[in-house]
Amino acid sequence: QYEVCKRMMKREHWGSRLGFILAAAGSAVGLGNIWKFPYMAGENGGGAFLVIYLVLVFTIGISVMLAEFVIGRMSEKNAIGAFAKLKGGLWPIVGLFGVAAAFMILSFYSVVAGWTLSYMIKAVTGALSIEDPAALGDIFGSFISDTTSPLIFHAIFMALTIFVVLSGVGAGIERASKILMPALFALLIVLIVRSVTLPGGMEGVAFLLSPDFSKVTWATVSDALSQAFFSLSLGMGAMITYGSYLAKKENLPGSAGWVTLLDSAVAVLAGLLVLPAVFAFGFDPSAGPGLTFITLPAVFAQMLFGSFFAFLFFLLLAIAALTSAVSILEVVVAYFVDDRGINRKTAAVVLGFVIFLLGIPSSLSMGVMADVEILWGKNFFDLMDFVSSSLLLPIGGLLISLFVGWIVWGKAQEEIAAHNGIVPVWIGAWGLIVKFVAPLAIAFILLKGLGVF
Ligand code: PHE
């Protein structure tokens, strides 16, 4: 009985370093990379957006990720509890913002993930074996604007997410990520080969790879910043929470490097998959959220065994979404388990259900509520996305940087160095970024993007 007790007291750990990296990469790689990145790049002129995005990712993004890992492992606590344990005062509010962002993001994320589930079925039944992109656009439009059926898939997706989270860190999250992530990578490569070799596809490659900075505005830069935070799962404590399940011996900077690299690789690959098809079929690259769901089926329809590949693609997209959704729900669940003494199963089911309810108006925003302006001229879906990705995540990232750079800097350095013997130059560079560069740059970009000055 003593043993059982001891095991219950000790925080669960990832089974291996690879397991952790894949789980964290599983969180990072998701709809943000495959669905959002290509259309954001399309709306913002392609290549220039990619360059700005990558610069932000490999300076601010990677540094905030390391900061989150450090906070997590140092405290072995959830997003709110970590700040309370390391410093207290008003700092836990940063975690509270994160939990709020988690509620919002997961609510609309699950709606879009539901679309991928429905597209798996459409692929199998042959409903997508249509070569005419305009007809595929109609299918997409009438599906997402429907009132009930997207909600059914939203419910199914939430149920899957809840199931993985209640199965726990090792048996649920880690095991799923280890199988799913490599499969996703392999399939992306196969599909890109087909997409770039479509007649006219090379134009899309050029669009993404040859930057035209003349059209860049501060809005482009702030979109790139929000996208960087969203795609890397930063600013709301997901990586704090995952870091808290990390053993003391693991190399944190190396892990942050791997996760950042994998995530940006998948975003670039997804761009190379979607944008050539957009050009080949004469779509407008700034067509928005429908891009992936409309152009890719048109690519599949032109391929041998197209329905099979379409099914496989939406399956993998659903899986990528699932490993991300799990990390978002885990932020909320970990808080209620650690600090509110609620058991994992109850927390996952109840919180997951609340998030499902919050997602309903987002789903309806594609149809009956499309023109219902909630605030700032945005409908519910757009507002949730804007407040969470464009405000809460960057602000969270700013505060996390300040916290590590100024409040726990000494301990943070020890946390990294004691176990890894890292090169001092890198710690110096990281310090410079979390202390000065990231907070200033984020604040500046946010204010510029909002048109404050
Ligand atoms: N990074 C995920 C994606 O790109 C979404 C996500 C955001 C996950 C925030 C966790 C936290 O799809």
260 CB less than 6 Å from ligand 1? no
Alpha-carbon torsion (242, 350, 35, 225), positive or negative? negative
| 81 Cα–ligand 1 center, Å | 21
Helices (H), 217-370: 218-231, 238-243, 252-280, 291-301, 306-340, 344-364
In tens digits, the chain (453 residues) has pLDDT values of 554 444 445 677 877 778 788 889 989 999 999 999 999 999 888 999 999 999 999 999 999 999 999 999 999 999 999 999 999 899 999 999 999 999 999 999 999 999 999 999 999 998 888 888 888 889 999 999 999 999 999 999 999 999 989 887 666 667 777 777 788 888 888 888 888 888 888 999 999 998 988 888 888 999 999 999 999 999 999 999 999 888 777 888 989 999 999 999 999 999 998 898 888 888 888 877 888 898 888 888 877 788 888 898 898 899 889 989 999 999 999 999 999 989 999 999 999 999 999 999 999 999 888 888 888 888 999 999 999 998 999 999 999 999 999 999 999 988 887 666 666 778 889 999 999 999 999 999 999 878 787
Tokens of 281: 């079929």
pLDDT at position 419: 63
Phi and psi at residue 216, to the nearest 5°: -75, 130
Phi and psi at residue 375, to the nearest 5°: -160, 150
98 CB less than 6 Å from ligand 1? no
Cβ contact 275:192 at 8 Å: no
What was the ipTM of the complex prediction? 0.98
User: Which value, to the nearest 10 degrees, does the dihedral of the CA atoms of residues 421, 426, 428, 429 take?
Assistant: -160
| Alpha-carbon gap, residue 91 to 86, rounded angstroms | 9
Ligand 1 atom closest to the CA of 263, numbered from 1: 4
Phi-psi region of 235 (alpha: psi -120 to 50; beta: other; left: phi over 0): left
CA terminus-to-terminus distance, the chain:
63
95 CB less than 6 Å from ligand 1? no
Cβ contact 122:294 at 8 Å: no
Which residue's C-alpha comes closest to atom 9 of ligand 1?
233
231 CB less than 6 Å from ligand 1? yes
| Alpha-carbon gap, residue 397 to 324, rounded angstroms | 18
Q: Is 144 helix (H, G, I), strand (E, B) or coil?
A: helix
| Alpha-carbon gap, residue 400 to 243, rounded angstroms | 14
- Cα angle 164-358-376, degrees, rounded to a multiple of 5: 130
Helices (H), 148-209: 149-166, 175-196, 201-209
Which residue's C-alpha comes closest to atom 7 of ligand 1?
233
Phi and psi at residue 378, to the nearest 5°: -110, 145
| 320 Cα–ligand 1 center, Å | 10
**pTM metric for this prediction:** 0.92
230 CB less than 6 Å from ligand 1? yes
| 430 Cα–ligand 1 center, Å | 23
Which residue's C-alpha comes closest to atom 11 of ligand 1?
233
Query: What stretch of H or E contains 376?
Result: none
Alpha-carbon torsion (69, 71, 77, 81), positive or negative? negative
| 313 Cα–ligand 1 center, Å | 19
Ligand 1 atom closest to the CA of 32, numbered from 1: 4
Q: Is 378 helix (H, G, I), strand (E, B) or coil?
A: strand
pLDDT at position 172: 64
**Ligand 1 pocket test, candidate residues 37, 97, 233, most atoms within 8 A of CB:** 233
| 439 Cα–ligand 1 center, Å | 21
| Alpha-carbon gap, residue 370 to 158, rounded angstroms | 23
285 CB less than 6 Å from ligand 1? no
| 61 Cα–ligand 1 center, Å | 13
pLDDT at position 267: 95
| 33 Cα–ligand 1 center, Å | 9
Give helix 47-56 / helix 252-280 axis angle, nearest 10°. Answer: 170
235 CB less than 6 Å from ligand 1? no
pLDDT at position 214: 86
